[in-house]
Amino acid sequence: MERRINVRENSPPTKQKHPYSRAQQAAAFACTFLLSFTSLPLSLLYGESFLIGGDFPSGIVATEIAEATPHTEQSSQRRKRGGRYRPAPADFSFAEDSTSEFADLELVEISEDSNIYYNPDTGEETEEIFSLPVRFEDEDGQLIDIDPSLEASERDDFAYESRAGPSTNFFPEVIDADTPFLLEREDYKIRFTLLKDSEVILSEIEDLEYTDIFSETEERPLAAIYEISEEKSFRVTSSDIGIKSEFILETVPETNIFTYELNLVGLSAELSSDHTEVILFCIENPEIAVAVIPEGIMWDASRDGAYSNDITYGLE
């Protein structure tokens, strides 16, 4: 299924109530949206308990700490039984300068969305629960940390792909109709490309700060920058849950509409009622929302963080 998505910037970035003129959009203005897979029920996409805005989560999104529970023989047996929880890697240890609040505890179990720590001084266990999966089960049944870092792709038609995760992000060397971006998970495929008259070529792989599940921060190759012209570039960033794309403008653009072409396998695209989100539904079961393009955001670095989310989408 092929669809075109038009991203319309309806008003320039503003900060609080300060006036702002389009003529002042001189540098470092960016319009962005995030395309991500979701396993959440459709009702949560429109409820107060679920929100993904244009802001981009890098590394861990959020954690919740369960109440500490006594370490018992029963919990030790649970670790030996397997199931949802697996024994922690035997060679794991926190870095000496770790800022994690659990650095003084022993990691004893892991799951796709949690860590269990043991305090030998008190005999208590504490479970750290993440709001999104941080690991996935591979073909051998092993739990692997999700890593969106870019590495050379094994596919001939792509230059880079994300390293490890339940879904894979593929990045082309040249953006055109024959070599789009690709997000792939199970039987679902999302291809998208820019509608341009000329080729857009990859110019740089950018290292960005990434915080892992143990609060360790380091720079990893996460973003690809494509030069469209001297005044405009296109940056696409790989993440744990999908990708983020940004138009970076050095001057005021001739149009406030940016157009992508979507090619979907196993999915259909629908606009939200206020045209601020695009939801991708499973074709075989239209009640299941598989992926989402959430509310976009734009900001101007020359205006001390001036921003706006007055962006709407259109489908053709």
Q: Residue ranges of the domains in the chain?
A: 2-60+145-315, 63-130
* The total number of residues written for the chain in this structure: 316
Are the C-beta atoms of 106 and 89 separated by less than 8 Å? Answer: no
Give the whole-angstrom CA distance, residue 181 versus residue 204. 16
How much is the pLDDT for 49? 27
Percent of all residues in the chain with a pLDDT value above 90, rounded to a whole number: 18
Check residue 303 and report its DSSP letter: G
Give the whole-angstrom CA distance, residue 200 versus residue 180. 11
Mean pLDDT of the 134-148 span: 90
Mean pLDDT of the 177-185 span: 86
| Listed residue (30, 37, 36) closest to 7, CA to CA | 30
How much is the pLDDT for 148? 93
Q: What is the pLDDT of residues 72-128, one digit of tens each?
A: 555 555 455 456 788 888 888 888 888 888 989 999 999 998 899 999 888 888 888
What does the mean pLDDT of the chain come to? 75
pLDDT of 263 over the 50 cut: yes
